[in-house]
Structure 1
Amino acid sequence: MARNHYYLSIADLAHARGDDPRFAWDGAGPIDFAAALQQALRDDTLFRRWRAAQPDPDAVDAGLGATDPAAQVQVQVADLRTDVDLITDLPMSVVRHRLYLLIGAAWQLRDLRAA
């Protein structure tokens, strides 16, 4: 699978949280968020917890549980915006799902390129 380079931005990381507090990021800053997102992409712990909480866990698309042990996340703060640089071989559907669990819709995809 091809590795992709996702460039994301988060306007207000301090208030960015997923809808369900059981899965939402609860860190203190950009470095904590980068670590949480990287962990969420490298292993399936967050996905398994979310799946178990669904009304019919067996009906959940198992493809959403894909992982990339080599996923890399870096962040940089520019003004009040947090820029996220993510390199992974995971498809956008998986990246999007993990981001929504962690920080809801508080992010924006700026660019996507082959890594």
Structure 2
Amino acid sequence: MGIRSHYYFSIADLAHARGPVPALSYDGAGPNDLAAAVQNAMRTTDLFERWRAMQEEPDEVDPSLATVDPQATASARVSDLHTEMDLITDLPMSIVRQRLNLLIGASWQLRDMRKA
């Protein structure tokens, strides 16, 4: 797998952080729910498989997009007027970006990334 990275994200308005497809979108109520949804999305193929099934040609989807990290961890907390989330994983940013976009749309911002 790749290099283990620690991603630091900021979500300005968690109450409205939703992905573009309701069936795939985060629907929790707080930072702990968000962390659990993100962690599950990185550890399992559940979100990917639901997304893939919605594609016009599911069998033609690049199988590398199904890559998971069973050891990924996510945590989130409220800080001032936004939510901060930490994600530790060896998944590449392209996979992390796709899954975050499915879950919470463009509501997130990468604040920093370091070797874990």
Q: Tell me whether the two structures share a fold, i.e. TM-score over 0.5.
A: yes
Alignment root-mean-square deviation, CA: 0.7
The residue type equivalent to 1:76 in the other structure is R
Per-residue deviation, 1:66: 0.6
Per-residue deviation, 1:20: 0.3
Provide runs of 4+ in structure 1 moved above 4 Å.
none
Per-residue deviation, 1:97: 0.6
Aligned residue pairs total: 115
The answer as to 2:86 corresponding to 1:58 is: no
1:20 aligned partner: 21
Matches within 5 A, 1:1-115: 1-115=2-116
Per-residue deviation, 1:71: 0.3
Q: Find the aligned partners of 1:61 and 1:41 in 2 and give their Cα distance.
A: 17
> Which 5+ residue runs of structure 2 have no aligned equivalent?
none
Q: Find the aligned partners of 2:92 and 2:57 in 1 and give their Cα distance.
A: 24
Share of identical aligned residues, percent? 62
Q: Find the aligned partners of 2:62 and 2:93 in 1 and give their Cα distance.
A: 15
The one-character-per-residue Cα deviations of 1:43-73 (angstroms, maximum 9, x if unpaired) are 0011001001100112211111110000010
Question: SS of 1:68's equivalent?
Answer: coil
> Which 5+ residue runs of structure 1 have no aligned equivalent?
none
The residue type equivalent to 1:67 in the other structure is V
